[in-house]
A and B are shown apart, each in its own frame.
Chain A
Amino acid sequence: MKKNFKRIIKDRLFKITIIFLSFFSTLPLFLILFYLIKNGISSLNFNFLFNLPKPVGEKGGGIANAIVGTFILILISSFLSIPVGILVGIYLSENKDKNLAKILSLLIDILQGVPSIVLGIVAYLWIVRPMKHFSAFSGGVALSIMMLPVIIKSTEETLSLIPQSLKEASLSLGVSYYKTLLFVILPSGLSGIVTGILIGISRIAGETAPLLFTAFGNPYINLNIFKPVEALPHLIYNYAKSPFPEWHQKAWAASFILILIVFILNFFSKWVVKRWKVKF
């Protein structure tokens, strides 16, 4: 009897520890949200979203340049990394046992681990130096290299889960290999691939380091991809390190906007999985 009692106590204790630690790990998120809202909410208003920044001392001013810039950067890096990422993902899932694929897969793992500042330097050497000026394009390239491994891995994993029988069914109709991949296999894995893309975007949306010497920042709204643009994380970085309290306030508010964008992307990707999930 006594022994059983001990076992039950141990079991309960274990369960409580797990639950406690699980909650504990989400605590930072709640603290972050709390601080963002507390410090940022006072600066948040219509003008903040749609106006350009104003010099220190002047009232008002917003972050429209950074919001537009962030979306331009996301567009450029998506445009560059999505097609390549999906194609490489297809290659890896189709050629699992080839040596080239194994090497490639390893290299992609390494690429995923490269510090983002290094990618910024690479983009600087490749694009900024030859062109002799900073640009949204160079920032987009740096971010697209960051996004690439995420898209490749999620495409590969999604396609690996699609039953071989679908491919065989399509080939048995005399359909060519590439059409089988593009029109049968890829649509079946769409939800996983789109989710991977959205996760990739939310990952790069908050990157500052690669933008320091590529996109560079810009106090005005700029739509020319060969000119510098502002980005939310870069603007936060500049405002936060300034000595002016009103700029600190703006950094908080901009952080809130940034986290909101990331949240929306995350919820959207959950929705995509639910809505587009294909049952086999």
Chain B
Amino acid sequence: MESEILRIENLNAYYFENQVLKNINLKIPKNKVTAIMGPSGCGKTTLLRCINRLHEISPGGRVEGKIFLNEENIYEMEPMIVRRKIGMVFQRPNPFPTMSIYENVLAGYRLNGIKLSKKEEERIVEETLKRVGLWDEVKDTLRKKGNFLSGGQQQRLCIARAIALKPEILLMDEPTSALDPISAAKIEELILNLKENYTVIIVTHNLQQASRISDYTAFLFLGEVIEFDKTEKIFTVPSDPRTENYLLGKFG
């Protein structure tokens, strides 16, 4: 196995008394795409939110266990620092509605009070928007608000906003489920490109998507990791009958 960037150890997550994740152990490899799949309500999104400590803002959310980012336990770090190193893209595109496209890309810098020269700002905006394949489409409307864009463009803008800060890991929570197939295909292509520089963890409902873009796949069922392995192996010779049943569409 390649060098690992994130290690989850004995993670249990709760919302009030309700246990959502049960004893999760995972090692996420660096510069790969790891997919988390499973039926609705199995805790995929919760697992993702635990990784950047966003579960803490949900009422009653708490965890036991450890998550190590480069051998440092994120639950002993400041949440703000964790979240700057672990970015997130959401199910529905959510650009900041009061900011222009330009400001959206730089939002991470500006809101964190990081001062940049005009030149640096322009370089970051151009570089990042080129990275997500949006530059040619928006270079003449950078000063317009982000919500004039189509859903797919908005989602790429959100990815740009997340990677502009150069996080180590990018979490994606079903980033294509609210998009049309063509926009979704563009995002998938983008994710494959992103793994050169970033580690991507993606939650998906879509089995084909998981098989197309991920290197590793974790299968979650009722809050437990049933299987975690190379994607080809999971999709061809799953070792657990529950994984096989899920892939065959017998439940979920």
Contacts and interface: CB of A to CB of B under 8 A. Distances in A.
Interface of A: 97, 163, 165-176, 179-180, 183-184, 187-188, 190, 278-280
A126 to B, nearest CB: 39
Contact of A180 (B111, B147, B158): B111
> B interface, how many residues as a size bin?
20 to 34
A173 B92 contact: no
A173 B90 contact: no
Interface in B172-226: none
27 contacts: A97-B59, A165-B90, A166-B96, A167-B57, A168-B57, A168-B94, A169-B90, A169-B158, A169-B161, A170-B111, A171-B83, A172-B83, A173-B87, A173-B111, A173-B112, A173-B161, A173-B165, A174-B80, A174-B112, A175-B80, A175-B111, A179-B113, A184-B98, A187-B98, A188-B97, A278-B97, A280-B97
Nearest to A168: B54
Interface centre among B54, B87, B92, B94 (most CB of A within 10 A): B94
A98 to B, nearest CB: 10
A272 to B, nearest CB: 15
Interface in B41-87: 52, 54, 57, 59, 79-85, 87
B107 interface: yes
B94 A175 contact: no
Contacts of B158: 169
Contacts of A184: 96, 98, 111
B97 A173 contact: no
B245 to A, nearest CB: 33
Nearest to A169: B94
Nearest to B86: A172
Given A172-B87, A175-B80, A188 B162 contact: no
B151 to A, nearest CB: 13
Contacts of B84: 173-174
A179 B80 CA distance: 12
B192 to A, nearest CB: 22
A183 B54 contact: no
B133 interface: no
B238 interface: no
A168 B96 CA distance: 11
A188 B98 contact: yes
A78 to B, nearest CB: 23
B108 A168 contact: no
Contacts of B82: 174
A266 B97 CA distance: 26
Contacts of A165: 90, 92, 94
B129 interface: no
B88 interface: yes
Interface in B106-149: 107-108, 111-113, 147
Given A175-B112, A183-B111, A163 B94 contact: yes
B94 A278 contact: no
B108 A171 contact: no
Contact of B94 (A166, A183, A187): A166
Interface centre among A165, A168, A187, A278 (most CB of B within 10 A): A168
B108 A173 contact: yes
Nearest to B85: A174
A171 B162 CA distance: 11
A183 B103 CA distance: 12
Contact of B81 (A97, A168, A169, A174): A174
Contacts of A171: 54, 57, 79, 83
